């Protein structure tokens, strides 16, 4: 299924240029047409049945395997022509497990979901990560709506912010330090993080953004800077300024 937020699929269907044999189904239309009985039975099945029975309840001919394609995300073509990247359940699940280990997420953590799901950073980091780990997430559709985002972070005590340097720069200008007081981790990706933006964010909010590196083909995270680990007679450096950080666990 495909959301209308995916501009690529929506533009094809509206301009009549789609030459594939498949039918485009918009999630919004399916949700709108569902009757009360269908919603109730689906909610009960999802809450009470084991996962393999839920698949049968939904009419799946066979349960999905880790090697099945989970999504197709279109890259911007920074290294060539734009292309659709096929990611399996194993691609997504392994990246979620890696990020969960590195960030050391707690049950009371909450992520601010402002990144679009048709981009791999948003798809894995703000959609799949909280869904798979069970932590909270607060969604807002416009990442440049700085004042609303600041209010949401404050209201729901958000602890983790995933954003691009462009968005971080906007928040530095328009959000108050008190609104971001609950944040314990800020991750920047999708574009290079200039030192001036990182320093300005830290000077204003008292927390320094960490930079990472990834690409759509890697689902997407490859390396991240993270929080230093300290214990008696031990210190492990998690972040270094001007770098893209450590490879995630299991990366070669």
User: Do 99 and 13 fall within a single domain?
Assistant: no
User: Do 159 and 222 fall within a single domain?
Assistant: yes
User: Do 43 and 103 fall within a single domain?
Assistant: no
The confidence score (pLDDT) of residue 112 equals 97
pLDDT, one tens digit per residue, over 139-172 is 999 999 999 999 999 999 999 999 999 999 999 9
Count of domains forming the chain: 2
pLDDT, one tens digit per residue, over 15-32 is 445 566 778 888 888 888
User: Do 218 and 129 fall within a single domain?
Assistant: yes
- Asked if the structure places residue 233 within a domain, the reply is yes
Boundaries of domain holding 101: 69-247
User: Do 49 and 164 fall within a single domain?
Assistant: no
Rounded Cα distance between 212 and 78, Å, is 17
- Asked if the structure places residue 112 within a domain, the reply is yes
User: Do 20 and 123 fall within a single domain?
Assistant: no
User: Do 111 and 208 fall within a single domain?
Assistant: yes
User: Do 232 and 119 fall within a single domain?
Assistant: yes
- Asked if the structure places residue 252 within a domain, the reply is no
User: Do 18 and 115 fall within a single domain?
Assistant: no
Query: Is 157 within 8 Å of 135 (Cβ atoms)?
Result: no
Please name which of 246, 32, 4, 5 lies closest in space to residue 114, comparing C-alpha atoms.
5
- Asked if the structure places residue 187 within a domain, the reply is yes
- Asked if the structure places residue 64 within a domain, the reply is no
Write out 167-235 in H/E/C secondary structure: HHHHHHHHCCCCCCCCCCEEEECCCCCCHHHHHHHHHHHCCCCEEEEECHHHCCEEEECCCCEEECCEE
User: Do 169 and 231 fall within a single domain?
Assistant: yes
At residue 233, does pLDDT exceed 70? Answer: yes
pLDDT, one tens digit per residue, over 178-214 is 999 999 999 999 899 999 999 999 999 999 999 999 9
Q: Which of residues 136 and 8 earns the better pLDDT score?
A: 136
The confidence score (pLDDT) of residue 78 equals 67
- Asked if the structure places residue 62 within a domain, the reply is no
Cβ-based neighbours of 83, under 8 Å, separated by 6 or more: 74, 75, 77
The confidence score (pLDDT) of residue 80 equals 75
Using pLDDT thresholds of 50, 70 and 90, give the confidence band for residue 77: low
CATH number at residue 166: 3.40.50.12780
- Asked if the structure places residue 195 within a domain, the reply is yes
User: Do 135 and 197 fall within a single domain?
Assistant: yes
- Asked if the structure places residue 63 within a domain, the reply is no
Please give the model's pTM, rounded to 2 decimal places: 0.77
The confidence score (pLDDT) of residue 20 equals 60
User: Do 91 and 192 fall within a single domain?
Assistant: yes
Instruction: Give me the percent of the chain exceeding a pLDDT of 70.
Output: 91
Please name which of 107, 230, 112 lies closest in space to residue 182, comparing C-alpha atoms.
112
At residue 231, does pLDDT exceed 80? Answer: yes
The confidence score (pLDDT) of residue 120 equals 93
């Amino acid at each position: 299924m495909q959301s209308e937020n995916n501009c690529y699929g929506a533009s094809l269907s509206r301009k009549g240029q789609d030459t594939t044999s498949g039918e485009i189904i918009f999630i919004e239309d399916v949700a709108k047409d569902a009757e009360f009985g269908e919603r109730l039975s689906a909610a009960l099945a999802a809450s009470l049945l084991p996962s393999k029975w839920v698949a049968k309840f939904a009419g799946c001919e066979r349960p999905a395997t880790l090697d099945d394609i989970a999504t197709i995300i279109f890259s911007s073509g920074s290294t060539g022509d734009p292309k659709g990247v096929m990611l399996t359940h194993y691609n997504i699940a392994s990246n979620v497990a890696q990020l969960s280990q590195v960030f050391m997420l707690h049950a009371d953590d909450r992520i601010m979901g402002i990144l679009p799901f048709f981009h791999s950073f948003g798809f894995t980091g703000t959609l799949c990560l909280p869904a798979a780990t069970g932590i909270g997430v607060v969604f807002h559709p416009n990442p440049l709506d700085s004042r609303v985002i600041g209010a949401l972070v404050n209201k729901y005590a958000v602890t983790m912010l995933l954003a691009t340097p462009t968005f971080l720069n906007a928040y530095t200008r328009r959000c108050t330090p008190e609104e971001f007081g609950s944040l314990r981790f800020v991750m920047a990706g999708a574009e290079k993080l200039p030192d001036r933006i990182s320093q300005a964010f830290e000077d204003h909010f008292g927390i320094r953004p960490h930079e990472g590196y990834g690409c759509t083909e890697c689902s997407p995270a490859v390396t991240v800077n993270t929080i230093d680990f300290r214990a008696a007679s031990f210190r492990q450096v998690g972040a270094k300024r001007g770098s893209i950080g450590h490879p995630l666990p299991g990366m070669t």
